[in-house]
Amino acid sequence: MKVTVRFFAQSREIVGEKQKEVEIEDGRMLHDIISRLRNEYPDLKKEKIIVSLNHKYTHPEEILKDNDEVAIFPPVSGG
């Protein structure tokens, strides 16, 4: 199955892309995709990152579904 991963702020700068499609096996959890991206982009390991799934904060054990939207970003700093 395929999920979309979006990157914002420093995470976007590290990855060099705003978003990418990632192929992942059925039944994988949110933290699996994070580990994979951290291995692919080691600089992501140096930063504190926050993860959302389908526009919501969630826990890392959430099971991914086809066409989910994951987002990776640093702690927010709006306001």
Partner 1 sequence: MITKEDLSIDELVRKMKKPEMGAIVTFLGVVREDGGMEGINVEVYEEMAVDELEKLEHEAREKFEVEAVEIVHREGSLKVGESILVILVGAKHRKEAFRACEYLIDELKERVPIWKKVY
Residues within the interface to partner 1 (CB under 8 A):
6, 8-9, 50, 52, 55-57, 71, 73-74, 76-79
Q: Which residues lie across from 61 on neighbouring strands?
A: none
**Cβ at position 3, least distance to partner 1 in Å:** 15
**Cβ at position 21, least distance to partner 1 in Å:** 17
Strands 2-7 and 50-53 turn out to be unpaired
Q: Which one, 26 or 78, has the nearer CB to partner 1?
A: 78
**Cβ at position 44, least distance to partner 1 in Å:** 16
Q: Which one, 30 or 71, has the nearer CB to partner 1?
A: 71
Residues 12-21: contacts with CB under 8 Å, at least 24 apart: 12/73, 14/41, 14/43, 14/44, 14/47, 15/41, 15/44
Q: Which one, 23 or 56, has the nearer CB to partner 1?
A: 56
Is residue 32 within 8 Å of residue 66, measured between CB atoms? no
